[in-house]
């Protein structure tokens, strides 16, 4: 079984290499992303393994199918970059639904704490032997209200962490869960009451730009926004306006809606053409990481193990819960109704 792995970084290679040449699996690594420009590289392979910024739209699906690609292994949880409906009846699609929800939830809290306590700025000052603490006044998390949008695996762990800090937790989810230790409210109420808003729901047509110029009219002045989910949940232009107008007190971002051609690459010697991104990064109250919330050794090991298992599920013609549903917009809800693949 020959697998072409795209958008490969050194850490991917390290975690996957122990499975290479085992169980008749041959992995070839490509640094480039999968897109219409690179799809010709997939000729002669049985499957492809992709990450968050590879683009598998309908055109690419058709080209993959023509190249006799039989399965797509997403080595991530989100699948908004794949036209799953177009894959139906042609190419099986598997994902890694949970590799370490702790990694992402802990990163969200790390961003929040770093931002509100100015740790990143203090680090730079003390390294320069500047021990002045002016401008570093933060606020206690204890007693503050946090609004968590999306109470799935990651959102729930983030809620537990926030409860540990003594915060009041509000939650919004399309499918609320009784076991979640938070007060479920409408999205509008969450926006109105929260001191901190953290996004943990998937990017869908429904959630695209769920934070926008209209929601800026609802939020508390000085609200802190945390996004470790998908960039396009937030309208970046509205976010920038909210920051410039001093409505938003701080933004902690691990994702950005136009990150595809930028994140994971070194642009330190170049001029970045995205003016919104450049302006966001220039603001003192914006803390940005480059889609690294998942990046722990534990998560990478789990990703590699589950991805290889998914490949074996395809080869053994069995089914598992990691194969996507090709019809339903909400995969978790769909799983409650049926078992196995709907391919
Ligand atoms: P999950 O599937 O366990 O939970 C998602 C939750 O969102 C579910 O409870 C679902 O009911 C809810 N939801 C779906 N549609 C909604 C809507 N319209 N409004 C409100 N809630 C809605 O997913 P998990 O594992 O918690 O991951 C959440 C997101 O985190 C992923 O979709 C992915 O985009 C992102 N992620 C980011 C990573 C990073 O490195 N920055 C790594 C892994 C995931």
| Beta carbon of 228 within 6 Å of any ligand 1 atom | yes
| Beta carbon of 332 within 6 Å of any ligand 1 atom | yes
280 close to 286: Cβ distance less than 8 angstroms: yes
Name the catalytic one among 92, 230, 257, 323.
230
Per residue of the chain (343 residues), give pLDDT as tens: 999 999 999 999 999 999 999 999 999 999 999 999 999 999 999 999 999 989 999 999 999 999 999 999 999 988 999 999 999 999 999 999 989 999 999 999 999 999 999 999 999 999 999 999 999 999 999 999 999 999 999 999 999 999 999 999 999 999 999 999 999 999 999 999 999 999 999 999 999 999 999 999 999 999 999 999 999 999 999 999 999 999 999 999 999 999 988 998 899 999 999 999 999 999 999 999 999 999 999 999 999 999 999 999 999 999 898 999 887 766 666 665 666 677 7
Could you tell me the distance, in angstroms and rounded to a whole number, from the CA of residue 154 to the centre of ligand 1? 7
| Beta carbon of 201 within 6 Å of any ligand 1 atom | yes
Q: Considering the domain 2-99+297-333, what is its CATH architecture?
A: 3-Layer(aba) Sandwich (3.40)
Could you tell me the distance, in angstroms and rounded to a whole number, from the CA of residue 229 to the centre of ligand 1? 7
230: annotated active-site residue = yes
Could you tell me the distance, in angstroms and rounded to a whole number, from the CA of residue 201 to the centre of ligand 1? 3
Atom of ligand 1 nearest to the CA of 151: 9
Question: What CATH superfamily classification does 101-288 receive?
Answer: NAD(P)-binding Rossmann-like Domain (3.40.50.720)
Same fold, 2-99+297-333 and 101-288: yes
Atom of ligand 1 nearest to the CA of 76: 43
**Residues forming a β-bridge with 2:** 26
291: annotated active-site residue = yes
Helices (H), the chain: 10-16, 58-66, 84-87, 101-116, 119-127, 153-164, 187-193, 236-244, 275-282, 297-315, 331-337
Domain map (residue ranges) of the chain: 2-99+297-333, 101-288
Could you tell me the distance, in angstroms and rounded to a whole number, from the CA of residue 99 to the centre of ligand 1? 13
Contacts of range 82-85, beta carbons closer than 8 Å, 24 or more positions apart: 82/50, 82/56, 82/324, 83/56, 83/57, 83/58, 84/324, 84/325, 84/326, 85/326, 85/327
Query: Can you give the pTM of this predicted structure?
Result: 0.89
| Beta carbon of 156 within 6 Å of any ligand 1 atom | no
């Amino acid at each position: 079984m020959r697998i072409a792995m795209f958008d490969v970084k050194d850490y991917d290679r390290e975690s996957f290499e122990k499975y290479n040449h085992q169980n008749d699996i041959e992995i070839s690594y490509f640094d480039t992303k999968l897109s219409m420009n690179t799809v010709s590289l997939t000729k002669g392979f049985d499957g492809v393994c992709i990450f968050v910024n590879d683009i598998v739209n309908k055109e690419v699906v058709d080209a993959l199918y023509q190249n006799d690609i039989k399965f797509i292994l997403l080595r991530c949880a989100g699948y908004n970059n794949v036209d799953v409906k177009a894959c139906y009846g042609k190419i099986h699609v598997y994902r890694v639904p949970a590799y370490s929800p702790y990694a992402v939830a802990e990163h969200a809290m790390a961003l929040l704490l770093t931002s509100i306590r100015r740790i990143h700025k203090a680090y730079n000052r003390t390294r320069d032997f500047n021990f002045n603490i002016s401008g570093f006044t933060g606020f206690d998390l204890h007693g503050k209200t946090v609004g968590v949008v999306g109470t799935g695996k990651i959102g729930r762990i983030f809620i537990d962490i926030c409860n540990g800090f003594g915060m009041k937790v509000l939650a919004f989810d399309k499918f609320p869960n009784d076991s979640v230790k938070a007060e479920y409210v409408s999205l509008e109420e969450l926006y109105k009451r929260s001191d901190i808003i953290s996004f943990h729901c998937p990017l869908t047509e429904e959630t695209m730009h769920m934070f926008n110029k209209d929601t800026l009219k609802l939020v508390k002045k000085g609200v802190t926004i945390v996004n470790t989910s998908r960039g396009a949940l937030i309208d970046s232009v509205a976010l920038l306006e909210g920051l410039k107008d001093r409505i938003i007190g701080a933004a902690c971002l691990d994702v950005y809606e136009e990150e595809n051609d930028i994140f994971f690459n070194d642009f330190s010697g170049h001029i970045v053409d995205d003016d919104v991104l450049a302006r966001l990064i220039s603001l003192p109250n914006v803390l940005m990481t480059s889609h690294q919330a998942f990046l722990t050794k534990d998560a990478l090991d789990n990703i590699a193990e589950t991805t290889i298992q998914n490949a074996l599920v395809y080869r053994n013609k069995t089914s598992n819960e990691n194969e996507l549903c090709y019809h339903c917009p909400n995969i978790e809800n769909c799983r409650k109704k049926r078992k196995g693949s709907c391919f």
